[in-house]
Chain A
Amino acid sequence: MAKDPVCQMDVDPKSAAAQSKHQGQTYYFCAVGCKVKFDADPARYLGR
């Protein structure tokens, strides 16, 4: 299980609605909306 960095939901990578590569790491999202937010400002969600 992966964690959606935007909404913190658990997501199965195989059936994730969307994914994004950032600095060599693949992130999985529960929905396209989360991906869009993430892509706009990845640092905000990976920041801490």
Chain B
Amino acid sequence: MSPKTSDAPRLDLPVKGMHCAACVDKVERALRSVPGVTAAAVNLATERARVELGPEPAALDQLRDAVAAAGYAIPEEIAVTPESREREQADRAREIARLRVKLVVGALLAVPVLLGSMAEVFPWAPGWLRDARVLWLLTTPVQFWVGGQFHAAFLRELRHRTTSMNTLVSIGTNAAYFFSVAVVLWPHRFMAAGAMPYFEASALLMTFLVLGRWLEARARGGTSEAIRRLVALQPRAARLAEPGGERDVPIGEIVPGDLLRVRPGERIAVDGLVVEGASTVDESMLTGESLPVERGPGAQVVGGSINRTGTFTFRATRVGRDTVLARIVRLVEEAQGSKAPIQRLADRVASVFVPVVLGIAALTFAAWMLWGPAPAFFHALTNAVGVLVIACPCALGLATPTAVMVATGRGAELGVLIRSAEVLETLHRTHTVVLDKTGTLTMGRPVVTDVVPAAGTETDPVLALAAAVEQGSEHPLGEAIVTAAKSRGLALPPVREFRAVPGQGVEALVEQGRVLLGNQRLMDGRGIEPGALAKEARRLAEAGRSVVYVAVAGEALGLIAVADVLRPEALAVVAALRAMGVDVIMLSGDAQSTAVAIARQAGIDRVHAEVLPDEKATEIKRLQADGRLVAMVGDGINDAPALAQADVGLAMSSGTDVAIEAADVTLMRDDLRGVIAAIDLSRRTMRIVKENLGWAFGYNLVLVPVAAGMLYPIWGVQLSPILAGMAMALSSVSVVTNSLRLGRFRPSAGGTER
């Protein structure tokens, strides 16, 4: 949990102009070189940089200059507002549209070029199309207009003395283009040597590269779809209930304390407490819980959820940046912008990639000139161009961030909020899950399981008296007793002089005399003899229940046993975790016997009982000392230190009142199955990441030598620059498409059902 504990001031800046993993590394270096910057992480998929500043922070202008010097740009406006988000979306849409036009024009021109150039393959192509001057004419706009952005970026980088994939593309296609032009202009010199123009290389390549860019831009838009959907949940206006009537106001004008009215079918604008009326509310978009929940007076409602059946009025409690929805969006955005440790490897490789590839291309050229078959220059050039074109590391740069973006977005839809890419990576390697007992494995609130009257009494008076005393109590045990009495429809006698006896119980006066409600110590302290009840009490305690005695007017009246019962899904979840190869350990502050009783019901055999709250973290540390990566699941409130100590802390929130900033993973739904969903999602994400990286690395490792013509001496195989360009475009597309599969992620059996 180290990243979130950092108090260093942090900037989140948009960066324009990045297209590959090599760019990422360059921007990071540029930012780190600025004095006052302690760390910088750049994400290609979100096009954002996260900069951590030291005690003497760097000025924004310094950062901007450094990035500009590296050949990229930090735009004037850096804050993320709804407007900037909209503008960004509009920019993206415009970019996609522009690329589409270029793609269409490129394709319309490149196809005839291909037909005309390969007369032996397409004998039916008209004769005029075979004229090299026509091909020249057709190719020129493709080379310079369709592919203009590559050359512009190349020149910009040249000025800053940096390189990127643009360098490769620009040098490669220009080499092919100008060579062909030279052949057309001086046919006698070149054709005599056996050289032919090959405009099709340049034309098709550019078209494929633009196709790649277009697909990439579309896919990038798709990966942040989840955020867009979350943001769209918030309505733009709400109905303010005023003494004089109702009035529609923009959401920005709502302040905490305002009374808002919601009709059936409307979205709830901000977080609040129901004041009047009742309804069922669909919170599925926030919690993943598919069933609508009942909300009556005093209940919490969350902005973004949909009111289904009734009309009600609620008082706004949290607005703007403080709403649960806004916090979720912020968290998911941060997670999407974070960098998985595994990506650093790819970034490092990519940063040395371009110079290495330029070297390989030069070597290829030299080797073919020296030893290649005639026409040597033609072969040398073709193969060198092929190497330059195929070696773009953009798939490498997209492999991890796209997967992380899609996974965190999908997680949010399922009610599983993941803090960062690092959390995903750590979680997938975790094979030990520690479950806190109370509130995690169990419901977290006790229910009355037994009422034992003393000889000569009934159960109802015992419960009624106890409930009467506990009426005002906020102790969970008291609440359980009151709930039980109410569910039996018992009338509660009035009480006076209620008093809590710390560590022992409570007392109060009723008409019959003094009522004592508490443990053995309370009874002993007041001289009350439990008689036969003592044996019952021992039996119930051994079964893992908490027992309270009820005494009235100096006589033991009976006893009530309460227990925190297991969540209904606990058994299945523990079994599913086992099936996933995860060791499940239960941690509890309860006595050994109580803890073991619950653990047995859940099917857990490793129990650490009698652990005080502040010892939980120590217990986690002990497990880590065995070399385990430990995930801890708790409620995030009283086990916060243990969650922080664990390699991954998962907090299960009850309902919507959550401290989502507190844990590595927040389960929005009060359901243990979220743990399985989280682990499952992390494992699938990392599998996809590894596939992506394997694909991206493997593609370069395999195809660069092929493009260089290494197979030629053996099988006579050569890779044309056109195929190289196509393969390059497809590698990016396949990586992004693979990541998008996570958008359809469903947790495996035992996980949440949605």
Contact = CB atoms under 8 A, between A and B. Distances in A.
A35 B525 contact: yes
Contacts of B529: 21
Nearest to B528: A19
Contacts, number: 35
A27 to B, nearest CB: 8
A37 B227 CA distance: 69
Nearest to B514: A15
B553 interface: yes
A13 B526 contact: no
B525 A13 contact: no
Interface string B470-497: 0000000000000000000000000000
A18 B518 CA distance: 14
Given A14-B554, A15-B553, A21 B527 contact: yes
B526 A17 contact: yes
A32 B512 contact: no
B513 interface: yes
B554 A35 contact: no
A35 B509 contact: no
Interface string A20-43: 110000101000100100000000
Contacts of B553: 13-15
A47 to B, nearest CB: 20
26 contacts: A13-B553, A13-B554, A14-B513, A14-B514, A14-B554, A15-B509, A15-B513, A15-B553, A16-B514, A16-B554, A17-B507, A17-B514, A17-B526, A18-B525, A18-B526, A18-B527, A19-B526, A19-B527, A19-B528, A21-B527, A21-B529, A26-B554, A28-B554, A32-B525, A35-B526, A35-B527
B91 to A, nearest CB: 75
B583 to A, nearest CB: 48
Nearest to A12: B513
Given A13-B513, A14-B553, A18-B526, 9 more contacts: A13-B553, A15-B514, A15-B553, A16-B554, A17-B514, A18-B527, A19-B526, A19-B528, A35-B525
A28 B553 CA distance: 11
B403 to A, nearest CB: 65
B461 to A, nearest CB: 16
Contacts of B512: 14
A18 B399 CA distance: 73
Contacts of A28: 554
A32 B526 contact: yes
Nearest to A22: B527
Interface of A: 12-21, 26, 28, 32, 35
A17 B554 CA distance: 9
Contacts of A12: 513
Q: Classify chain B's interface size.
A: 10 to 19
Nearest to A20: B527
9 tightest A-B CB contacts, nearest first: A14-B513, A19-B527, A14-B553, A18-B526, A15-B514, A20-B527, A15-B513, A19-B554, A18-B527
Interface string B509-547: 100111000000000011111000000000000000000
Contacts of B507: 17
Contacts of A26: 554
Contacts of B514: 14-17
Nearest to A18: B526
Contacts of B526: 17-19, 32, 35
Contacts of B509: 15
A40 B284 CA distance: 63
A26 B527 CA distance: 9
Interface centre among A19, A20, A21, A35 (most CB of B within 10 A): A19
Nearest to A39: B527
Contacts of A19: 526-528, 554
A25 B205 CA distance: 107
Contacts of B554: 13-14, 16, 19, 26, 28
B194 to A, nearest CB: 112
Contacts of B525: 18, 32, 35
B391 to A, nearest CB: 85
Contacts of A35: 525-527
Nearest to B504: A32
Nearest to B526: A18
A28 B527 CA distance: 9
A18 B504 CA distance: 14
Interface in B361-402: none
B700 to A, nearest CB: 81
A13 B513 CA distance: 8
Interface in B397-430: none
A3 to B, nearest CB: 16
Interface centre among B509, B513, B514, B528 (most CB of A within 10 A): B514
A15 to B, nearest CB: 4
Interface centre among A14, A26, A35 (most CB of B within 10 A): A14
Nearest to B513: A14
A29 to B, nearest CB: 8
